Structure 1
Amino acid sequence: MAKILGAQMILEAQKRSLFPLWDAHNEASKKVAERLGYKCLGAYPAYEWKGTFDQ
């Protein structure tokens, strides 16, 4: 299912003249991206918000 939806996202982005990027946050997402033809260009620092916005 993830591969089908990922392929749909790529096709829709191309139809809209957008360049589809993929940010793999976990190993499962990385594997889907690789199956769709994406290549890892390298790691970079990323941050994740664990709280809520009403604090």
Structure 2
Amino acid sequence: MKLAHVRLLAPNIHECFLFYRDAIGLEVRYGDETTPFAEFATGGRQLRA
């Protein structure tokens, strides 16, 4: 069994999106600060927030 992705639920997607994109520097695969969720590239895995 492999871990395919991790999904984090947060009360403020706008702040979370900006943090993962700008502060951590993750590449955005889907979404932006206005969508209900976003997906980020994290090397061989994906992070969905």
TM-score range, shorter chain: 0.3 to 0.5
Question: When you count helix as a share of all residues, which structure comes out higher?
Answer: 1
- Higher CA-based Rg: 1
Q: Specify which structure has the bigger relative contact order, considering alpha-carbon pairs within 8 angstroms and separated by 6 or more residues.
A: 2
Question: When you count strand as a share of all residues, which structure comes out higher?
Answer: 2
